[in-house]
């Protein structure tokens, strides 16, 4: 739900700021995907760590933050690269 609201809000803001619905949609889709993947990562990593008898509270903080940052950059740049031709 948060992903949909944030994506819709940033889509409208980007449209009014730059005057391009396509740019707004690209940013909105990127934000939505990043939030969904980040939420899934934050949910699944502690479950996997506890399955392997590793304390999830100790290992999940830095691991989740690093994975979330890496995945977010790949999502943002991947979607932007994919639709770059349409923006030019």
pLDDT of 1-51, one tens digit each? 888 898 899 889 988 988 888 888 888 888 899 989 888 888 888 888 889
Instruction: Give the integer Cα–Cα distance in Å for 30 and 50.
Output: 30
pTM of the model: 0.77
Q: Give me the CATH topology for the region 2-87.
A: Tetracycline Repressor; domain 2 (1.10.357)
Give the pLDDT of residue 70. Answer: 92
Give the pLDDT of residue 22. Answer: 85
Q: pLDDT tens digits, residue range 55-64?
A: 888 777 788 8
Give the pLDDT of residue 21. Answer: 86
Give the pLDDT of residue 74. Answer: 92
Contact (CB, 8 A) for 21 and 29:
no
Q: Which DSSP symbol is given to 35?
A: H
Domain boundaries, the chain: 2-87
């Amino acid at each position: 739900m948060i992903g949909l609201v944030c994506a819709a809000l940033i889509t409208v803001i980007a449209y009014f700021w730059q005057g391009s619905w396509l740019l707004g949609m690209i940013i909105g889709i990127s934000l939505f995907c990043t939030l969904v993947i980040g939420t899934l990562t934050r949910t699944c990593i502690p479950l996997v760590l506890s399955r392997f008898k590793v304390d999830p509270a100790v290992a999940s903080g830095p691991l989740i933050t690093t994975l979330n940052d890496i995945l977010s950059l790949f999502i943002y740049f991947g979607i932007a690269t994919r639709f770059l031709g349409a923006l030019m």
